[in-house]
Structures are given as structure tokens and as C-alpha cells.
Structure 1
Amino acid sequence: MQSQWKKSFAFIFGGQIFSILTSFMVQFSIIWHLTETTGSAAVLMIAGLAGFLPQAVLGPFIGVWLDRWNRKLTMIVADSVIALSSLLLGAYYLWGEPSLWVVYAILLIRSTASSFHAPAFQAAIPLIAPGEQLTRVAGWHQLVFSSSSVLGPALGIAVYSATSLGTVLLLDVAGALIANLMLLFVRIEQPKPEAVQTPSFRKEFKLGWASFVAAKPIVFLSIAMAVFSVVFMPLAMLFPLMTLSHFGRGGYSASVIEAVFGIGMILGGALLSAFASKWKDTTYMSISLIVIGLTCVGSGAVGNEAFIAFAVLSFFMGAAAPLFNGPYMAMIQKSFEPEKLGRVLSIVTSIGLLSSPIGLALAGPVVDRFGVQTWFFWSGIVVVLIGVLIYAKFYRSGEQA
């Protein structure tokens, strides 16, 4: 039994690394293409909204369906839709330059499919791994994610520069197909459905919401995560613009920043996997936010000749990220029964995603008027304060988490 669940995750992560890798290649290539061709923060923020908004709007309701549907099949269908959207956009770029609205529409489709895939994947993890291993598995997931984030931008810019964005998108199709093929070899037991007289979307949604609000520590952390998302999520779109506008460098330098950020994430994920049981989950989370905040402040303060300093700060920012994401997800997985987990995960995910468009809407005008460094600096101040608040809540009050 001990080796069986590890074997299952070897198949899952073995396939997912191809899908996540090619997704990073596509994500970076599209952002860089829009940055290079438009130079507009507003365009980048609209692209970000197209990528986040469907997940934010659909998220609270998707959980009800996820707890009814086969989670493995949901992941396969969602990945297939993402692959089809990449194929469509790739064909557009191979035949000519599509309008921005076509790009936004494809991003909306990919986001809609992702809104089913991500919570289905997270809700399936407790059905395979023992409860005491969930934080460690979260560390493995962060390692896969981080490794892909290192290679993805570098490979993406190399393929983009040598061929076209269309070729990068077609590689994403291959990555999704490999992930689905590997998933076919994994057996995922469905949780026993709740005893209800007749299926009722409204009642099942209310039960999921009631379960969520009853877990006070999770509610508090989700609110903190929402504020964090408002100020930090726009940075994912702004890193290439920082490289281009502030430092005056090109695509390869932008991919270097993505790579060092990802290398930091690999280190952070490895540390989390190795020392998962040493501290409480909230210890890792508060440390993560304080480090992320300080590195954002530093990035906002460096001069335009200090590209190496920016790269070093990006490394430590990346190293801190898994120490928040992994423990936060593990806390949620440990706090709720498997038959309700899909609904709770979709609610939690939506809280963060609904916050992200607010940040994106604010960041575009602010960056266009005051410069990209302004957002880095002040978002860092806010993130540090959130980390201190989590410390005060869970350590000085003696609450367990």
C-alpha cells in the first residue's frame, strides 16, 4: 500500500510535468509576444483578466459538479479542451497574426477548462495519498511545478525566437496528450457520495459553503490570500515588462528572470518536502509572505543598471513561494472530508481568483502612469504586513494550524 500510492503519483507527476512545462512555454511566450508587440501594461492586464476571470466566476459552482463527477475523467476532458484551444490559436499564428480579441477569446477558453482541471486534481490527491503525507505531496507538486517554471520560459523563448508562437502552442497540445495518457494508468477511487434524497445543486452548494465557513482558520487564511492575490498576482504579468521597460533588456533576459525564479521554487519545494513535518503549516506560510514582500520591495527600489540584483531578488522570491502554496493547500485537504473537498477547493480557489482581476484592473493604469517599479514596491509592503498578521493570529493567540 505504501509503495502503491507513490507509484500512482509517479505516473501522475510524470505526465503532468510535460503538460505544465509546455503550459509555461505558452504562458511566457504569449506574455512576451504581447509585451514586445504592444509594450502596453493595459494589454497585459486584459490578457491576465481573460486568463483569470472565467475561473473566478465559475469556481464557486464547479465544486458541486466535481463532487458528483469522476475526478480523473474531469481532468482528462479539461486537459483535452486546453489542448484544443492551443491547437486553434497555434493555427492562427502559423497562418498569420491574429487580432488581440482572438487571443483574449482563446485565453478565456483555456481558463474555463483550467477552472475544472485544477480543483479536480487537488481534490483527487487525498484519495490517493495518506493524510499524514499531504504536505509532503504538496512539496512534490511544487517541485514539478517549479522545475517546469525554470525550463518553460527558456525553452519557450528559444522555440519562439527560432520559429513562431504557433509552434510553441502546438507543443502544448503534445504536452496535454502525454499528461492524459499517463493519467489513464492511475486508478483513483471516487469518494462515496453523500446521502441525499434527490440531487440539488443549491443544497449541495450551501452544504459546501457551510463546511468552508465552519473552518475558521481556513476562512482567515483565505481572506489573507485574497488580499495577497490583489497585490501580487499582477506581478506574474509584469515581470517581462520590468525587464523590458526598466532594465532595457530583451526576451532572453526576461527568460533568465523566469528561470531564476523557478530555480528558487525548486529549492523551496525541496525544502518543504524534506522538512514538511518540522513546523506547523502556518509557520511556513508567514515566513513565505514576509520573504516575498521584502524581495518585492527590493525589486521596486533597484536602479535600472542593477539587473543582477533583480535576478537575485527574484530567486529568493521564488524560493519563498512554495512555502505558502504547499502548506495552504495541505491544510485545506486535511480539514475537509473527500466528498466535500471539491466544493471547498472551488470556493477557496475562486476567492483568490476573484481578487486577482481587481489587482489586474488596478495595476494596468498605475503601471502605465507611475512605472512598473511602483507596483513592485508597494505590493511588497502589503505582502509583508499580511505575513506579520498571520504570525500574530496563529502564534500569539496560540491557535493550532
Structure 2
Amino acid sequence: MELQWRKTFAIIFSGQIFSILTSSMVQFSIIWHLTETTGSAAVLMIAGLAAFLPQAILGPFIGVWLDRWNRKKTMIVADSAIAFFSLILGIYFFFGEPSLGFVYVILMIRSTASAFHAPAFQAAIPLIAPEDQLTRVAGWHQMVFSFSTVIGPALGIAVYSATSLGAVLFLDVVGALIANIMLSFVKIRQPKAESIHTPSFLKEFKLGWDAFVQVKPIVVITLATTIFGIAFMPLATLFPFMTLSHFGRGGYSASLIEAVFSIGMVLGGVILSVIASKWKDITYMSLSLVVIGLTCLISGVLSKEAFLLFVILSFFMGSAAPFYNGPFMAMIQRAYEPAMLGRVISLVTSVMMLSSPIGLMLAGPTVDKYGVQMWFFWSGIIVIVTGVILFIAFKRMTVDLVQRNSNGLE
């Protein structure tokens, strides 16, 4: 049994490496193309909204369908849809420069498909791995994701510079094909039909919501993650803009930042998978936010000649990220029944995704008026405060729980 579930994840992750790699190439290449051709932070923010908003809006409702459908087939169909619209955009680029509106539409459609793929995968993990190994598997997932994104930006900018954005988009089709072939070789069991079907869509949605709010620690972390997302998520779009506008460097320097950040995530994922049970999950998460916040804050006061220091800070920022994402997802996977997990993960993902458009709408005009460093600095302050408050809140919840248990025994 031990060997079987590890083998299953090895097959799944070996395919996901290619899919995540090519998606990373596409994501960075599109952002760099828009940065290079428009030089507008507002354009980048609109692109970010197109990429995040559909997932935020659709997430709560998609969870109901995920708990009804076969999760393996859902992943395959969603990944295929993402690849198909990459192909359409790639063909368009071969015939000429598409309008910004057309690019935004494709980004929205890809985001819609991603809204099905990511929660389906996360909801499938507890159906494969033992409960006591979920944090470790989360570390593996972070490691695979990070490894794929290490070379994604560098490869993306290399292919983009040598050929065109269309060629990068065609490679995304190949990556999805490999991922789906590998996924077809594994078997993922489904929750029992009677546990996931209720008479109506609205009742199923309400069941998912009721299950979510009953676990107060998850609700608290989700709220903290929303604040974190508003402050930090726009930086994923602003990293290339920071490299170009503040440090005055080109595409390869921007891809270096992305690669260094991802190398840090790989290292963080490896460390998390090794020391997963040493501390409580909330300790890892709080420390992660403090480290991320500090690196953002310092980045916000760097001089134009301090690009090397920005590279180093990006590495530590990336290293800290898995210590938040991994334990949080493991906590969710442990807290809810598999038959309800698709709905809960979709709800949580939707809340987190909704924070990104809010952050992007605030970041666009702020960066255009005050400069990109202003957003780095104040996002760092907000993230540090969020990490400290989250740790204190959980410490108080633990004390209250102990006191209630003690009173119950008296």
C-alpha cells in the first residue's frame, strides 16, 4: 500500500512537470510581451484580472460539480481546454498581433478551465495519500510546481526571443498532452455516490458552505489568506515591471528573477517535505508570512543599482512560500470528508482568487502614480502584520479550547 500511493504520485507529478513548465513559459511570456509592447502597469493589471477573476467568481459553484464528477476525467478535460485555447491564441500570433481584448478573452477562458483543474487535483489527493502524509505530499507538490517554474521563465523568454509568442503557446499544448497521458495511467477512486448527491444544486452548495464555516481555524486562515492575496498576489504580475522600470533591465534579467524565486520554492518544498511534522502547521504558515513580508519591504527601498540584492531577496521570498501554501492545503484536506472536499476547496480557492483582482485593481493606479516600489514596500508591511496576527489568533484559539475542555472535565 505504501509503495502503491507513492508510485501513483510519481506518475501524476512526472506528467504535471511538463504541464506546469509550459504553462509557466506561457504565463511569463505573455506578461513580458505586454510589458515590453505597452509599458503600462494598467495593462498588466487588466491581464491579471482576466487571469484571476473567472476562477474567483466560478469557484464556489464549481465545487458542487467537482464532487459529482470523476475527478481524474475533470482534470484531463480542463487541461485539454487550456491547451486548446493556447493553440487558438498561438495561431493568431502567427498571423499577426492580436488585439489586447482578444488576449484578455483567451486569458479569461484559460482561467475558467483552471478553475476546474486545480481544485479537482487537490480534492483527489486525500483519495490517494494517507492522512498523516498530506503535509508531506503538499511539500512534494510545491517542489514539483517550483521545479517546473524554475526554468519556465528562462525557457519562455528564450523561445519568445528566438521565435515568437505563438511558438511558446504551441509548447503549452504539448505539455498538456504529456500530463494527460501520464494521468490516464493512474486510478483515482471516487467518494461513494450516495455521499455526494443531494436533490438540488443549491442544497449541495449550502452543504459545502455549512461544512466550511463549521471549521473555525480554516475560516480564520482563509480570511488571513485573503488579506495576504490582496497585498502580495499583484507582485506576480509586477516582478517583470519592477525589473524593467526600476532596475532598467531586459527580459533575461526578468526571467532570472522568476527562476531564482522558483529555485527558492523548490528548496522550500524539499525542506517542508523533510521536516513536515517538526512544528505545527500554523507555525510554518506564520513564519512564512513574516519572511515574505520582510523581503517585500526591503525590495521596496532598494536603489536602482541593487539588482543583485533583489535577486537574493527573491530567492528567500520563494523559499518561504511553500511553508504557507503546503500546510494550509494539508489542513483543509484533513479537516473535511473527501465527499465534501471539492466544494470546500473551491470555496477557499475562490475567496483567495477574489483577493487577487481586488489587489490588481488597487495596484494598477497605485503603481502608475507612485511607482512599483511603493507597492512592494506596503505589501510587505501588510503581510508581516497578517502573519503576526494569524499566529496570535491561533494561540488564543488553542488556549480557549484547552480551557473549555478543562471546564468540561470539572
**TM-score using structure 2 length:** 0.96
User: 2:296·2:376 contact (CA, 8 Å) conserved in 1?
Assistant: yes
- Give me the whole-angstrom Cα distance separating, in 1, the residues matched to 2:5 and 2:234: 37
User: 2:67·2:196 contact (CA, 8 Å) conserved in 1?
Assistant: no
- Percent identity (aligned): 73
User: 1:207-238 deviations in whole A, cap 9, x for unaligned?
Assistant: 10000000000000000000111111100000
- Give me the whole-angstrom Cα distance separating, in 1, the residues matched to 2:94 and 2:56: 31
- Give me the whole-angstrom Cα distance separating, in 2, the residues matched to 1:322 and 1:330: 12
User: 1:228-276 deviations in whole A, cap 9, x for unaligned?
Assistant: 1111110000000000000000000000000110111011001100000
- Give me the whole-angstrom Cα distance separating, in 1, the residues matched to 2:271 and 2:328: 16
User: 1:213·1:219 contact (CA, 8 Å) conserved in 2?
Assistant: yes
- Give me the whole-angstrom Cα distance separating, in 2, the residues matched to 1:65 and 1:123: 12
- Give me the whole-angstrom Cα distance separating, in 2, the residues matched to 1:78 and 1:61: 16
User: 1:165-219 deviations in whole A, cap 9, x for unaligned?
Assistant: 0000000000000000000001000011345885310111001000000000000
1:364 aligns with 2:364: yes
Q: Give 2:215's aligned amino acid.
A: A
Q: Give 1:262's aligned amino acid.
A: S
User: 1:149-179 deviations in whole A, cap 9, x for unaligned?
Assistant: 1110000000000100000000000000000
- Give me the whole-angstrom Cα distance separating, in 2, the residues matched to 1:397 and 1:4: 38
* 1:90 matched residue in structure 2: 90
Structure 1: stretches of 5+ with no match in the other structure = none
> What aligned pairs does 1:3-14 form with structure 2 within 5 A after superposition?
3-14=3-14
User: 2:193 aligns to what SS in structure 1?
Assistant: coil
* 2:275 matched residue in structure 1: 275
* 1:73 matched residue in structure 2: 73
User: 1:286 aligns to what SS in structure 2?
Assistant: helix
User: 2:278 aligns to what SS in structure 1?
Assistant: coil
* 1:387 matched residue in structure 2: 387
User: 1:194·1:339 contact (CA, 8 Å) conserved in 2?
Assistant: no
- Out of 198-207 and 246-255, give the one that drifted further: 198-207
* 1:48 matched residue in structure 2: 48
- Give me the whole-angstrom Cα distance separating, in 1, the residues matched to 2:243 and 2:46: 20
* 1:321 matched residue in structure 2: 321
* 2:145 matched residue in structure 1: 145
User: 1:224·1:386 contact (CA, 8 Å) conserved in 2?
Assistant: yes
Q: Give 1:154's aligned amino acid.
A: A
Q: Give 2:8's aligned amino acid.
A: S
Say if 1:81 and 1:3 are closer, same or farther in 2 by CA, change over 3 A: same
- Give me the whole-angstrom Cα distance separating, in 1, the residues matched to 2:253 and 2:29: 13
Runs of 4+ in 1 over 6 A off after TM superposition: none
1:344 aligns with 2:344: yes
User: 1:337-372 deviations in whole A, cap 9, x for unaligned?
Assistant: 000000000000001111111100000000000000
- Give me the whole-angstrom Cα distance separating, in 2, the residues matched to 1:199 and 1:74: 22
- Give me the whole-angstrom Cα distance separating, in 1, the residues matched to 2:132 and 2:290: 27
* 1:177 matched residue in structure 2: 177
Structure 2: stretches of 5+ with no match in the other structure = 402-410
Question: Cα RMSD over matched residues?
Answer: 1.0
- Out of 199-208 and 114-123, give the one that drifted further: 199-208
User: 1:301 aligns to what SS in structure 2?
Assistant: coil
Say if 1:279 and 1:233 are closer, same or farther in 2 by CA, change over 3 A: same
* 1:293 matched residue in structure 2: 293
Shift of 1:24: 0.2
- Give me the whole-angstrom Cα distance separating, in 1, the residues matched to 2:96 and 2:148: 29
- Give me the whole-angstrom Cα distance separating, in 2, the residues matched to 1:299 and 1:60: 35
- Out of 192-201 and 267-276, give the one that drifted further: 192-201
Q: Give 2:389's aligned amino acid.
A: L
- Give me the whole-angstrom Cα distance separating, in 1, the residues matched to 2:261 and 2:10: 25
Say if 1:195 and 1:249 are closer, same or farther in 2 by CA, change over 3 A: closer
* 2:226 matched residue in structure 1: 226
Say if 1:6 and 1:304 are closer, same or farther in 2 by CA, change over 3 A: same
**TM-score using structure 1 length:** 0.98
User: 2:68·2:197 contact (CA, 8 Å) conserved in 1?
Assistant: no
Q: Give 1:22's aligned amino acid.
A: T
User: 1:230·1:356 contact (CA, 8 Å) conserved in 2?
Assistant: yes
Shift of 1:395: 2.7
Shift of 1:396: 4.9
1:27 aligns with 2:32: no
User: 2:198·2:204 contact (CA, 8 Å) conserved in 1?
Assistant: no
- Give me the whole-angstrom Cα distance separating, in 2, the residues matched to 1:243 and 1:15: 32
Aligned length: 400
User: 1:281·1:327 contact (CA, 8 Å) conserved in 2?
Assistant: yes
Q: Give 2:172's aligned amino acid.
A: D
- Give me the whole-angstrom Cα distance separating, in 2, the residues matched to 1:313 and 1:159: 27
User: 1:212·1:344 contact (CA, 8 Å) conserved in 2?
Assistant: yes
- Give me the whole-angstrom Cα distance separating, in 1, the residues matched to 2:60 and 2:101: 27
* 2:405 matched residue in structure 1: none
